[in-house]
Amino acid sequence: MVDLPDGWRKAGRIEAWRLGRSLHRRFGPGHPLAGARFWVMALHDDGAQCLVAAEGTDAPYYVVHLPQGTGASIEVSDGRALMDPTFLEESQSGPEMLEDTQLFYLGEEEASAPVAMELWVHPVAPVRCEKVMLFPGGTFDVVPLIGDAFDLSRGINLASAKEMLAEAGYQMAGGPVALALHEDEEPKMTGQSISFWLGNENGERTIWSVLETPGEEFSMQRVDGDQPSVLFFSSQEEVEIALQNRDCAFIDRRMALN
C-alpha cells in the first residue's frame, strides 16, 4: 500500500468490498472503469472520493468522486486518472489543478470554457502547430492548428505531453519562431519566421499566423476554424493595421483566457 497524504485513509476490507460492488453498478456508459476489474484502495475523509486500482485500463489508478445518492450514476467527469497515486494530494480543486504535475484524461468533456492556452510549433517544414487548451479542474486538450494532430495517450500528464512535443521538435510559441527546411544532415534555416496572434472579432476568439519572409514580404492567415485566403502585405505597418482591426494580441507562451 502506498503512503497516503493527509485526508486519506486505507479502506477496510469489508467496506472496500461493499463500495466496489456499488461502483460496478453505478459506472455510466463510456466510463473507463465500466466493466473493468478494479478494487478500492483508499477513502477520503470527506466520504465523497475514493482511490481505486484497476487492471487493463488506460491508467492504473483512478480517483472516483461519489455523487450524492446511493444509486446515482457515476459519469466520466466524476473523477480523474492517475499514473502514480502519490498525486492524490493534488485532488483538491483550484488554480493548482493547472500545474504540470496534474494527471487527467485528454479530451474529457467539460462544461466550462478553457482558462488558458499554449501554442506549440514544429518549425521544420512541413510546419506544424498544436493548440493546448487548459480547462478548470486540470484537464487539457491538444488541437491541431497546422498539420496533422499530434498523437497523445489518454491519462497522460501535461508535463509528459510537453516532453513529447519537445522531443518531436516542437517549441512553445514565445516570439517569432524561425523556420527551416529539413535537409539530409540537419535543418537549414530559411530566413522566414512565424508568429501567432489571438484576436477577438465580435466576441469570437480567433488565432492568426503572420509569416515573414526575406525581403520584407508578409502574409497573414487565420489558422483556427474556417481558414480564409491568405492575406499578403508589403510592409510591417500594413500587417499591424490588419491585426489591430481584428483586435489581436501577440501570443507570448501561455495566455490566460478568462
- Tell me what pLDDT residue 58 has: 76
Report if residue 203 sits inside a domain: yes
| One domain, residues 58 and 120 | no
76 and 122 inside one domain: no
Does residue 146 fall inside a structural domain? yes
Question: Among the three residues 92, 108, 139, which one is the final residue of a domain in this structure?
Answer: 92
Determine, yes or no, domain membership for 68: yes
Residue 69 shares a structural domain with residue 176: no
Residue 3 falls within a domain, yes or no? no
Of the residues 92, 107, 131, which one is the last residue of a structural domain? 92
My answer on whether 227 and 194 are in the same domain is yes
pLDDT per residue as tens digits for the range 141-196: 888 999 888 887 766 777 778 888 888 899 988 888 999 998 777 788 888 999 99
Asked if 201 and 251 sit in the same domain, the reply is: yes
Query: What integer pLDDT is reported at residue 96 of this predicted model?
Result: 41
DSSP 93-131: -SGGGGSTT-B--BT---SSPP-EEEEEEE-BSSPEEEE
Q: What gap in Å lies between CA 105 and CA 152, rounded to an integer?
A: 11
Collect the ranges in the chain with pLDDT lower than 70. 1-2, 68-72, 76-78, 84, 86-112, 136-138, 154-155, 227, 258
81 in a domain, yes or no?
Answer: yes
For residue 245, what are the CA distances in angstroms to 201, 240, 242, 257?
9, 9, 5, 20
State whether 188 and 64 are in the same domain.
Answer: no
- State whether 17 and 84 are in the same domain: yes
1 assigned to some structural domain: no
**Model-wide pTM > 0.75:** no
60 shares a domain with 130: no
The DSSP bridge partners found for residue 81 are 62
C-alpha span between 258 and 242 (Å, rounded): 25
In-domain check, residue 48: yes
Structural domain for 81, as ranges: 8-92
Decide if 186 is inside a domain: yes
123 plus 77 within the same structural domain = no
Buried b (16+ CB within 10 A) or exposed e, 186-221: eeeeeebbbbbbbbeeeeeebbbbbbbeeeeebebe
Q: Show the cell assigned to 158.
A: 501535461
- The answer to whether residues 225 and 186 belong to one domain is yes
**Which residue bears the cell 492575406?**
231
H or E element, residue 4 = none
Q: Are residues 48 and 131 in the same domain?
A: no
Domains identified in the chain, total number: 2
Identify whether residues 86 and 146 lie together within a single domain: no
**Phi (first) and psi of residue 13, to 5 degrees:** -60, -45
Q: Which of 92, 125, 141 is the last residue before a domain boundary?
A: 92
